[in-house]
Structure formats: structure tokens, C-alpha cells
A = this chain, B = another copy of it.
């Protein structure tokens, strides 16, 4: 126990505050990006989320959970997007209570246009070395997984929770992992946070893979 252990706030507290500072910058960024498309940051988040999983049509509840807001708030935002013609709400055949929210062609255009924008957060992250970026990615993934396990956020489509993920299957230090779906090797810098092909691994398999991933060489 050193002097500084006594006088500084806990490390996790400082980490949260630091992430908060970065988040503040990202939020300010988002106003700039969103406004070009005539949207608000919340609408932008909702729209990109819906576009990213557009195939099947999304439930309102899923959007609410992803945004981390209540259902009525999600109703508001989706209504705003629908008014602007960027998403459509179709009735679901199986469940007559539910709606299937899908992105419209106009919505797709907006998402594509926005996807190219480079935020100041990304520029800041580019100042890190490739090695540092990869390290940060691994730490972010671990944190997200912990949040997911604590049910603070809904399940994410992470490589590390996927049925097809084979951690450290190869000797190659550059590309140690393997994706059984595309049957190809990949590296830590390629790990995805939201893979369209994600297929949740069953619990026992998942835990085994996670342990293998954690005790990185």
C-alpha cells in the first residue's frame, strides 16, 4: 500500500470517468453526424441498429434494450424515424401484438452516407499504435462481455461468444484464431463486436472457449 494507493480514487472509478470523458466527445460528435442527415443522435443509433439487423425485422423491445431506454422512449424515436420515412413498422404474422421494424430504402441511403463519416473519436483512436488498438479491442470486448453477463446490456454478436469461434487454434501469432463458419484464420485485430453471422454458442462450449481466449499466450 503506497501513498498513492491511499490518495487516488479506485482504479475502476477513474476508468469509468475516463470512458465517460471519451463518451462525452462521442456524443458531441454524433450531433454533427446526425444533423447532416436531419436526425438526432438517438435516432441515428436506432437507425443503424435496425439497418444492421434488417433481415428479419426487429421488435420494438429489442431496439429499446439496445439503446438502453424504456419502451415508450423507443416508441417515440421509432415514430420519429417512421415519420421521416427511414423505417417502416409492419405487423408480425405470428404475434399480432408485435411489430416488425425494418429499414426502408431511404433509410439505407442515410445509413450508407453516415457510415463514411469519420468522427473525432476515431481520429483519436488512430493515434494509438496498431498494437495498442488491438489491445484496447480485447479489453473493450472483455468489458462488454462482463456487462452482457451482468445483464446491463443485451446479448451482443461478439466473435468470442459465437459457436464458430476457435480461439488460438493456430500457431501463427498474427492470426491465431479461427472462424469455423468461413473456415479461415484471423487475428485479435479482426475480432468483431457485431457479426451478422453470429450464432450464439451453447453455455458449456462458450465457457470453454472463453477460458481459452482469456489465457492468451
Contact = CB atoms under 8 A, between A and B. Distances in A.
Q: How many copies does the complex hold?
A: 2
Contacts of A29: 152
Contacts of A150: 120, 123-124
A135 B139 CA distance: 9
A93 interface: no
Q: How large is the interface on A (under 10, 10 to 19, 20 to 34, 35 or more residues)?
A: 35 or more
A192 B17 CA distance: 10
Interface of A is mostly: helix
Interface stretch (A76-84, A180-188, A201-209): A180-188
Contact of A147 (B25, B66, B153, B191): B25
Contacts of A139: 128, 132, 135-136, 139
A125 B15 contact: yes
Listed residue (A21, A132, A189) with the most chain B CB atoms within 10 angstroms of its CB: A21
Contacts of A130: 11
Interface of A: 2-5, 8, 11-29, 45, 66-69, 119-128, 130, 132-137, 139-144, 146-147, 150, 152-153, 156, 175, 182, 184-187, 189-194
